[in-house]
Amino acid sequence: MTMTGDARTATTEPSTVSVPAPAFHRDAAPWWREAVIYQVYIRSFADGNGDGVGDLLGIRTRLPYLRSLGVDAVWVTPFYASPMADGGYDVTEHREVDPQFGTLGDAEALISEAHALGLRVIFDVVPNHTSARHRWFREALDAAPGSAARERYIFRPGSGVHGELPPNDWESVFGGPAWTRVIERDGRPGEWYLHLFDPAQPDLNWRHPEVRAEHEEILRFWLDRGVDGFRIDVAHGMIKHPDLPDVGYSNQIKMLGSAVLPYFDQDEVHEIHRSWRRILDSYPGERIAVAEAWAPSLERLAAYVRPDELHQAFNFHFLGTPWESKALREVIEDSLRTAALVGAPTTWVLSNHDIRRHVTRYGGGERGLRRARAAALLMLALPGSAYLYQGEELGLEEVLDLPEEVLQDPQRLRSEDGSSGRDGCRVPLPWSGAEPPYNFSPLNTVEGWLPAPSGWRGRTVQDQWDDPESTLTLYRRALRLRHSLPALGDGELSWRQADDGVLVFNRAPGFVCTVNTGDRVAILPRQGAPILASDGRLPKADGDRFELAPDTTVWWDTTA
């Protein structure tokens, strides 16, 4: 791999290799039903201007890498104007690019350059809340209780004799109460405002027509510039129960995804998504929306992807499933069943910018990496669309020993024991070189905004690119096969009988996936010709049977 000295012309060797064009996959299904979408956490992907923070220019210079990796689309986390209280998820203006990430011209160039390489582009939108520095919220703080300016948000009088207590018992996802009291213009404590996340992220009132009109304009602004879709942050949270009732218990975050809370997954939210679908459908080119939605059941999650609503919803139930065959089969079956009820594709994801990296969740070290590689092949063999989080193709672990002074995540700062921070999965990527910061920035002269560990030596893109046994090579081979094999992508699967600890399923025509989640070698019937193994070693057959190593997935061509 080589790097030039000029940040704007930085290139990598992979940009020159010949790879099959993604071509947005096969013609039989809409692209989004089977796409592999790569998540870029913009601050940590690649730094193009040399300030130690990832930016739009950095993404542009690394688009050839993503093209060569074999993904179909790139999802970019927020790069909008923001004071960065929550890494850009506290937006002051969706139609402006924050200077640390570049310019509007950079965003437009990213879209056009990605399209030229056969990649689609998805941008984040953050509709549940704004930054506390948003012009609307500043107006609300300057206005009196009951004013029109405060109606765009959720302000309420406090409880208690003198209004000294929050209006209800709702808790922030980041820890502590979900309410903060303001000081009114006369200098006295006054109303409370709702923030389901950080106090710097006040929740909007989505029953206000101006809020809806503003966000429809935001969607059109970026659709007019060619973006292919949106990932909707907190898509389940935009509508709250009108009576703001108490939940009745504490540690409410533990109920996220398992119970209907009065501030999440309210039925009225679906009318908003239907209105957004109408906007998307009014543009050419199959523009899409993806819901980040935590729902208490797969049935309720499926409601977000009904034919007249959103196109996809993240499958967090799969992400949270332990590495155990029975649990995995159950969540796969339930996911496919509920998605089929509404005619939607299922999505699969193992990691993202809010979750501890799955190598670490699977035990860390050699065992965690072995399981992660097996899980990747399992995921990419399933029907539907898959999401990759930057760095998982390198087999990166969570960084658990970041110095205290560099930690920035507000979730950690507000949690009781400080253990729930997300900085460890957001460390800048290692591109090349033997020492940190691994050419994250041009000329490798600037430390990234979070320090990369010395333990990533040997895990860089450069180190892994030509290594036939590397995790990066495994991902590249899997994605190449996924594009070339007619059985993979959208469609169905059928299970084959298997022993405890083993999964075996068929994808027509002519494909079988075998997975051993156990800690012992499994002896299985030979399925045909092995074409890819997560441990890098294609099994040798002993007659009509073969040995499947622990924590290993093998793909088979049954037509051979």
Phi and psi for 203 in degrees, rounded to 5?
-75, 140
Helices (H), 131-193: 135-142
Q: In sequence order, what are the residues at sequence separation of 6 or more whose Cβ sits closer than 8 angstroms to the Cβ of residue 465? A: 1, 13, 14, 472, 473
**Nearest alpha-carbon partner for 385 in 25, 67, 116, 133:** 25
Helices (H), 127-245: 135-142, 209-223
Three-class SS of 285-309? CCCEEEECCCCCCHHHHHHHHCCCC
Distance CA(114)–CA(90), nearest Å, equals 26
Minimal CA–CA distance to 385: which of 122, 204, 151, 166?
122
Asked whether the beta carbons of 232 and 289 are under 8 A apart, the reply is: yes
Whose CA is closest to 475, among 398, 534, 537? 534
Three-state secondary-structure class, residue 503: strand
SS3 content of the chain, % helix, strand, coil (to 5): 30, 15, 50
The torsion defined by the Cα of 333, 334, 336 and 341, in degrees rounded to 10, comes to 140
Known catalytic residues are 233, 292
| Nearest in space to 555 (alpha carbons), one of 484, 450, 457, 501 | 484
Task: Give dist(CA 19, CA 416) in Å, integer.
Answer: 49
Q: Amino acid identity, residue 308? A: D
